[in-house]
């Protein structure tokens, strides 16, 4: 994650693209998407944000405006505010949304009793442990079988043994349980059972490094090569630096006589890289809920953000919201036949139209109070040295009317930023055709969507169904979307859209106020001072991926995706030449060492 100053000018054009949340089209998709329930989202957000920033008196200001002037696109001006369809307010609460649109208060720095300045010997040992962890090829494949059945899990047993041998004191003091064989759960029982546990999370599986990419790696993917500045290899940044730091930190504290008052839990999944983590945290989280009950944990901290130069000022940017997730399969069934008498469009041609329809009608670019990215921009407007003045003025004086301008302008500056400003569409797999003289009977495509903070699985499906149904109609094919009919019922000539696996709604927002926020943000400030020694700004930030903590929303509202490393200290996650800096590893270590102690000393509200 790296923020650069915006250089491009804002655009003011409006979009005429279909919106996933416009209620006008709802009847069409519902014909086959029987459970589709339309949500009047844009209107809600528009009115909401207007109320949030200007008060109710001005909420009618845009009631007759056209789309160019409506802060949330062209639906907001047409739809009324309907209590019973106000799901965004229901989901977040009006007061919460109001808070999301402002930068949270910055708490005072909190310092732990014991700080750990590693000496040369400790530094050497730390780096060696980290490199050893990278050398164990714990690759996680999408088609992995059960832990005891699939031989590809063998390195995971090696990893467990290595962990036990490398951190004997921590293993002696903790109750270590292996959930579903490979999940690692280490509980350091606190002396005061009335205090809710702190849970630190990291995963020990890594994305596979296929052998046909080995020649593109500067150092072999499981070498754990130490060039004096970086540790190289698959898992070096995602996520073994964090896992090793967690065990090093607790070990050092135990050696120093630390006896937890608040229970500390280290929780390690083994299939985080398989989107739904069914075997790892999918087992561990329900197990913990059984043990500690709903809301039974004080705080969960998972991999995620770190510190960064945000518009010229050092910021810590913990992920306090996460986009949703959905995969679909589109199938086109056609008559097939001899390629000497083809129709105007074969199944592949029709699939091309569907792909083009999806790519040419993207989800709207937007910035709403539901997005933690808006909160981060508000913090930048208040605290960042080189945040463009024009944008400050937008946010501070123009309020929500400026959000579409900001969204458009920001989205044109980088793909990473664009991904924070709306639902994304990625067509990733296409299959169809078997022979050059035969027309394809079945063509399929798999498409991935990362759902915007203000949208839902339902609104995303609605957008897709509307586009696909139009293509089906144009080609004289039957259409069935999501909850509609099975392919077999469609008579061989159809466009069929269905979910692939499970879909995830956008994550609940982590509160940026109250005792636990003060504890978290205060500890960040204490453990990671800015380059000039001053406190850094801690701002909620948004995550576009999904990590294992998605399984923990029942266990606490205080979920932080934050590892504490400096942005740019690693690279190559999920691709060749993955590496992470040794200095970054020490910074993660300092942070984890601090939060264990400050959470232990914390007596405030939960
Ligand atoms: Zn990861």
Q: Give pLDDT tens digits for 185-225.
A: 999 999 999 999 999 999 999 999 989 999 999 999 999 99
Q: Do 181 and 61 share a domain, yes or no?
A: no
Helix (H, G, I), strand (E, B) or coil at 222: coil
Q: Do 432 and 547 share a domain, yes or no?
A: no
Joined together, the tokens standing for residue 156 give 């995971």
Task: Find, among 230, 173, 169, 241, the residue nearest to 204 by Cα.
Answer: 241
Question: Any binding-site annotation on 405?
Answer: no
Average pLDDT over residues 435-441: 95
Measure 304 CA to ligand 1 centroid, in angstroms: 8
pLDDT in tens, 7-63: 232 222 232 223 333 333 333 333 333 333 333 344 444 444 433 333 322 232 222
| Residue 113 belongs to a domain | no
Question: Any binding-site annotation on 219?
Answer: no
Measure 455 CA to ligand 1 centroid, in angstroms: 24
Joined together, the tokens standing for residue 43 give 């209107």
Q: Determine phi and psi for 510, rounding to 5 degrees.
A: -80, 130
Residue 84 pLDDT level (bands cut at 50, 70, 90): very low
Q: Do 284 and 406 share a domain, yes or no?
A: no
Q: Do 385 and 457 share a domain, yes or no?
A: yes
Question: Any binding-site annotation on 238?
Answer: yes
Share of the chain above pLDDT 70, in %: 85
Task: Find, among 326, 199, 317, the residue nearest to 269 by Cα.
Answer: 199
CA distance 465 to 31: 10
What pLDDT, on a 0 to 100 scale, did the predictor assign at position 336? 86
Task: Please check the confidence at residue 90 and state whether its pLDDT lies above 80.
Answer: no
* Residue in this structure with the two tokens 């579409």, named with its chain if needed: 404
Active-site pick, 272, 322, 505, 606:
272
Question: Any binding-site annotation on 593?
Answer: no
Task: Find, among 26, 127, 139, 136, the residue nearest to 75 by Cα.
Answer: 26
Asked if residue 558 lies in contact with residue 511, where contact means CB atoms within 8 angstroms, the answer is yes
Q: Do 278 and 387 share a domain, yes or no?
A: no
pLDDT in tens, 309-364: 999 999 999 999 999 999 999 999 999 889 999 999 999 999 999 999 999 999 99
pLDDT in tens, 232-272: 999 999 999 999 999 999 999 999 999 999 999 999 999 99
What count of other Cβ atoms lies within 10 Å of the Cβ of residue 175? 11
What pLDDT, on a 0 to 100 scale, did the predictor assign at position 67? 32
| Residue 173 belongs to a domain | yes
Q: Mark which of 504, 528, 563 sits at the end of a domain.
A: 504
Residue 543 pLDDT level (bands cut at 50, 70, 90): confident
Active-site pick, 205, 274, 322, 548:
205
| Residue 115 belongs to a domain | no
Mean pLDDT (the chain) is 85
| Residue 2 belongs to a domain | no
Q: Mark which of 445, 473, 504 sits at the end of a domain.
A: 504
Measure 548 CA to ligand 1 centroid, in angstroms: 8
What pLDDT, on a 0 to 100 scale, did the predictor assign at position 204? 97
What pLDDT, on a 0 to 100 scale, did the predictor assign at position 584? 95
Q: Determine phi and psi for 425, rounding to 5 degrees.
A: -125, 125
| Residue 18 belongs to a domain | no
Question: Any binding-site annotation on 203?
Answer: yes
Q: Do 278 and 289 share a domain, yes or no?
A: yes
Q: C-alpha distances in angstroms, 423 versus 51, 418, 456?
A: 25, 9, 10
Task: Please check the confidence at residue 2 and state whether its pLDDT lies above 50.
Answer: no
pLDDT in tens, 279-317: 999 999 999 999 999 999 999 999 998 999 999 999 999
Q: Cα torsion at 361, 362, 367, 371 (round to 10°)?
A: 140
Can you give the CATH number for the domain in which 375 is found? 3.30.70.360
Q: Do 522 and 500 share a domain, yes or no?
A: no
Measure 273 CA to ligand 1 centroid, in angstroms: 7
Task: Find, among 432, 469, 460, 427, the residue nearest to 446 by Cα.
Answer: 427
Q: Do 363 and 240 share a domain, yes or no?
A: no
Q: Cα torsion at 534, 540, 546, 552 (round to 10°)?
A: 100
Q: Mark which of 504, 520, 552 sits at the end of a domain.
A: 504
The answer to whether the Cα torsion of 143, 149, 155, 159 is positive or negative is positive
Active site residue 85: no
pLDDT in tens, 128-187: 999 999 999 999 998 889 999 999 999 999 999 999 999 999 999 999 999 999 999 999
Q: Determine phi and psi for 94, rounding to 5 degrees.
A: -60, -45
| Residue 8 belongs to a domain | no
Q: Do 414 and 426 share a domain, yes or no?
A: yes
Measure 204 CA to ligand 1 centroid, in angstroms: 8
Helix (H, G, I), strand (E, B) or coil at 123: helix
| Residue 11 belongs to a domain | no
| Residue span of the structural domain in which 191 resides | 120-321+508-601
Q: Do 342 and 310 share a domain, yes or no?
A: no
Measure 238 CA to ligand 1 centroid, in angstroms: 5
Q: Do 558 and 595 share a domain, yes or no?
A: yes
Q: Do 454 and 587 share a domain, yes or no?
A: no
| Residue 352 belongs to a domain | yes
Active site residue 142: no
β pairing state of 478-481 and 494-504: parallel
């Amino acid at each position: 994650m790296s923020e650069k100053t915006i250089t491009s000018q804002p655009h003011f054009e409006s979009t005429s693209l279909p919106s996933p949340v416009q209620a006008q089209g709802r009847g069409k998709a519902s014909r086959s998407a029987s459970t589709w329930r339309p949500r009047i989202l844009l209107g809600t957000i528009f009115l909401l944000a207007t109320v949030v920033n200007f008060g109710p008196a001005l909420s009618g200001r845009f009631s007759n405006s056209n789309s160019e002037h409506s802060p949330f696109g062209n639906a907001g001006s047409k739809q009324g505010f309907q209590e019973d369809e106000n799901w965004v307010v229901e989901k977040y609460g009006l007061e919460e949304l109001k808070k999301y649109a402002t930068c949270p208060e910055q708490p005072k720095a909190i310092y732990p009793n014991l700080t750990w300045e590693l000496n040369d010997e400790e530094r050497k040992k730390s780096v060696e442990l980290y490199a050893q962890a990278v050398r164990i090829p714990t690759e996680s494949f999408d088609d992995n079988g059960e832990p005891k059945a699939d031989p590809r899990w063998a390195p995971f047993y090696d990893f467990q043994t290595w962990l036990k041998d490398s951190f004997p004191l921590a293993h002696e003091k903790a109750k270590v349980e292996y959930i579903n064989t490979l999940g690692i759960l280490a509980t350091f029982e606190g002396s005061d059972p009335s205090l809710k546990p702190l849970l630190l999370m990291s995963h020990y599986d890594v994305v596979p490094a296929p052998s046909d990419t080995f020649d593109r790696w500067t150092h072999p993917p499981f070498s754990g090569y130490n060039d004096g500045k970086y540790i190289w290899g698959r898992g070096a940044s995602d996520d073994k630096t964090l896992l090793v730091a967690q065990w090093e930190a607790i070990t050092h504290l135990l050696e120093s006589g630390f006896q937890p008052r608040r229970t500390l839990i280290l929780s390690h999944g083994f299939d985080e890289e398989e989107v739904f983590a069914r075997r790892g945290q999918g087992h561990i989280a329900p197990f913990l809920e059984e043990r500690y009950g709903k809301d039974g944990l004080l705080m969960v901290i998972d991999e995620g953000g770190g510190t960064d130069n945000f518009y010229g000022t050092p910021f810590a940017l913990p992920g306090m919201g996460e986009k949703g997730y959905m995969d679909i399969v589109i199938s086109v069934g056609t008559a097939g036949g001899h390629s000497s008498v083809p129709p105007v469009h074969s199944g592949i041609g029709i699939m091309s139209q569907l792909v083009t329809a999806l790519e040419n009608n993207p989800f709207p670019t937007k910035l709403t109070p539901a997005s933690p990215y808006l909160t981060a921009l508000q913090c930048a407007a208040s605290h960042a040295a080189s945040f463009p003045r024009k944008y400050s003025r937008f946010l501070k004086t123009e309020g929500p009317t400026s959000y579409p301008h900001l969204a458009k302008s920001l989205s044109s500056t980088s793909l990473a930023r664009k991904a924070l400003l709306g639902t994304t569409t990625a067509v990733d797999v296409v299959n169809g055709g078997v022979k050059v003289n035969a027309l394809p009977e079945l063509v399929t495509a798999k498409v991935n969507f990362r759902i915007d903070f203000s949208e839902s699985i339902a609104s995303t499906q609605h957008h897709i169904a509307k586009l696909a149904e139009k293509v089906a109609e144009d080609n004289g094919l039957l259409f069935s979307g999501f909850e509609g009919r099975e392919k077999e019922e469609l008579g061989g000539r159809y466009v069929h859209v269905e979910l692939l696996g499970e879909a995830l709604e956008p994550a609940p927002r982590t509160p940026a106020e109250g005792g636990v926020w003060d504890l978290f943000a205060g500890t960040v400030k204490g453990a990671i001072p800015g380059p000039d020694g001053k406190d850094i700004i801690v701002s909620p930030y948004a995550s576009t991926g999904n990590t294992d903590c998605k399984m923990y929303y029942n266990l606490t509202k205080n979920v932080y995706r934050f590892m504490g490393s400096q942005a740019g200290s690693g690279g190559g996650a999920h691709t060749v030449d993955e590496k992470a800096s040794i200095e970054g590893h020490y910074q993660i270590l300092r942070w984890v060492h601090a939060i264990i102690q400050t959470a232990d000393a914390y007596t405030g509200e939960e």
